[in-house]
Amino acid sequence: MQHHTLGNNLQREVDSLVSKHQDIFNVVIGIANSEGNFYWSGAAGYADADRTEEMMVDTPIFIASITKMFTGAATMLLEEQKRLSLDDPISKYLSADLIEDIHRYKGQDYTDQLRVYHLISQTSGLPDYFTEKPKGGWSIFDRLIVEGDFSWNLEQVVEIAKYDLYPKFPPEPKSQENSGKSAYYSDTNYQLLGAVLESVTQQRLNQVFSELIIEPLELSATYLHGYAEQPVPAANPPAAIYYKTQAFQLDKAMTSFGPDGGMVSTVSDSLKFIQHFMQGKFLANPSTLERMKNWKKIFFPLQYGFGLMRFKLPRIFSPFSPSPALIGHSGSTSAFLFYSQSDQIYIAGTLNQVQNQGRPFRVMLKMIKMVNEALS
């Protein structure tokens, strides 16, 4: 099949996501292969809630928790530069007043056992400040839906984790680091990890990302939301996010997410980032990427490494055409950035819908299959 025909077929799929689903208002998707001879991107719908600006392939998008890939990558780069170690206790970088008693499980305080490793690998056992509900109260996510946009800071995150929620388990012992046992996905870990990066570098997080990742890879439309130092494309606001049929205005919240979900990018920048990452052009030592693939179960069918997710459906779900394993990250806005090694295909995009978190994976698998069959 010629690339032109394949591109038309892919565009029809993108168009149908908007036309057939009452809760999808804008979509952008980009796909590339490892050989470098195929690249396609397409968009549909309207970028703004007033439905006056068409969604374009270069429209900025909130990539939500895909930001954790950047935070994880920056952490590993700093370790390669011997500016930190994953074995370092977080108390080396974070003030005692901030983290005191942050991990008290069944009456025992494990705070002094928390290491940078526990944050990046989601094995600290710390609760998730964003989605978990305190007893008799609302989660931050619930409040955003009901009350609308508001901001928070690291001190408030820690306060929630200390006083309103409870750890799930003790920090993972070093003897179990390669066991594959379950982790617990917690945005609290990455809030703390971002603070560690700022402490190590003595820079604000946007500067850390710029110097370590954005500038070296020439990601011209990628930036951390809410900071003054933003590229020219930031004049175009990121596409609107929706909860069901309600447009989410989340300027303050997106600024507050920071290291766990505050990045803005485009599909072309995102694809450039993951291609360099997975092809070993970004990290100095190939073994660093392999260390980041130390998979632990979080929730079916996802596993977590160091700032990376692995998605793989068991063969029973598709016995005659097994789905590929995808490595990358997804976000709560139905944003996705993944690589299929078996197909040698990269895919990035968003449906900008907070509901139905399984749908982006179905979309990815279908479009990867279309490209794979057309190019094989």
Type of residue at 299: F
| Region for 328 from its dihedrals, namely left if φ exceeds 0, alpha if ψ lies in -120 to 50, beta otherwise | left
Given strand 263-265, what is the order of strands in its sheet?
A: 61-64, 263-265, 223-224
pLDDT digit string, tens, across residues 264-323: 999 999 999 999 999 988 999 999 999 999 999 998 899 999 999 999 987 665 655 678
Q: What is the mean pLDDT of the chain?
A: 94
Q: Is the pLDDT score of 145 beyond 80?
A: yes
CA atoms of 299 and 301, how far apart (whole Å): 6
Superfamily of domain 70-201: DD-peptidase/beta-lactamase superfamily (3.40.710.10)
Residues 6 or more apart from 16 whose CB is under 8 A from it? none
Which residue, 229, 182, 181, is CA-closest to 204? Answer: 229
The DSSP line for 317-356 is: GSSSSPPPPEEEEE-TTSEEEEEETTTTEEEEEE--BSS-
Lowest mean pLDDT among 33-47, 83-97, 179-193, 311-325: 311-325
Take residue 271 and report the two structure tokens written for it.
Answer: 């694809």
Give the pair of three-digit tokens for residue 301.
Answer: 């069918």
Please answer whether residues 146 and 108 qualify as being in contact, where contact means their C-beta atoms are separated by less than 8 angstroms: no
**Could you give the CA distance from residue 369 to residue 182 in angstroms, rounded to a whole number?**
30
Contact 225/263 with Cβ under 8 angstroms?
Answer: yes
The least confident of 149-153, 199-203, 248-252 is 248-252
Task: Give 282's Cβ-side CA count (13 Å radius).
Answer: 27
> 165 CB contacts (<8 Å, ≥6 apart)?
127, 128, 129, 132, 134
pTM of the model as a whole: 0.96
pLDDT-derived band at 232 (thresholds 50, 70, 90) equals very low
Left if phi > 0, otherwise alpha if psi is -120 to 50, otherwise beta: which for 202?
A: left
pLDDT (mean) for 43-53: 96
What was the pLDDT predicted at 314? 79
Give the pLDDT score at 174: 92
Q: Quick one: pLDDT band at residue 223, thresholds 50, 70, 90?
A: very high
pLDDT tens by residue, 313-356: 876 656 556 789 999 999 999 999 999 999 999 999 999 999 99
Calculate mean pLDDT across residues 221-240. Answer: 77
The pLDDT of residue 262 is 97
CATH number listed for the domain at residues 3-66+205-305+320-375 = 3.40.710.10
Quick check: 39 pLDDT over 80?
yes
Q: Residue 376: what pLDDT?
A: 80
Q: Are 127 and 186 in contact (CB under 8 A)?
A: yes
Residue for token digits 């689903």? 21
Instruction: Name, in order, each residue with C-beta under 8 angstroms of 298's C-beta and a sequence gap of 6 or more.
Output: 122, 182, 183, 184, 185, 304, 309
Looking at residues 69-81, what average pLDDT do you find? 98
Q: How far is CA 79 from the centre of its chain?
A: 21
- The residue type found at 127 is P
Question: Distance (Å, rounded) from C-alpha 85 to C-alpha 80?
Answer: 9
Find out whether 113 and 171 touch, Cβ atoms under 8 Å: yes
Least confident of 158-162, 230-234, 263-267: 230-234
CA distance 331 to 352: 10
Mean pLDDT of the 42-60 span? 97
44: part of which helix (H) or strand (E)? strand 39-45
pLDDT digits (tens, 9 = 90+) for 99-143: 999 999 999 999 999 999 999 999 999 999 999 999 989 999 999
- Give the position of tokens 């920048």: 269
DSSP one-letter string for 71-99: HHHHHHHHHHTTS--TTSBGGGTS-HHHH
**What residues does CATH 3.40.710.10 cover in the chain?**
3-66+205-305+320-375, 70-201
Q: At what angle are helices 267-278 and 67-80 packed, to 10 degrees?
A: 40
Assign 3-class secondary structure to 113-137.
HCEHHHHHCCCCCCCCCCCCCCCCC
- In angstroms, rounded to a whole number, what is the distance separating the alpha carbons of residues 19 and 196? 44
Rg of the chain taking only CA atoms, in angstroms = 20
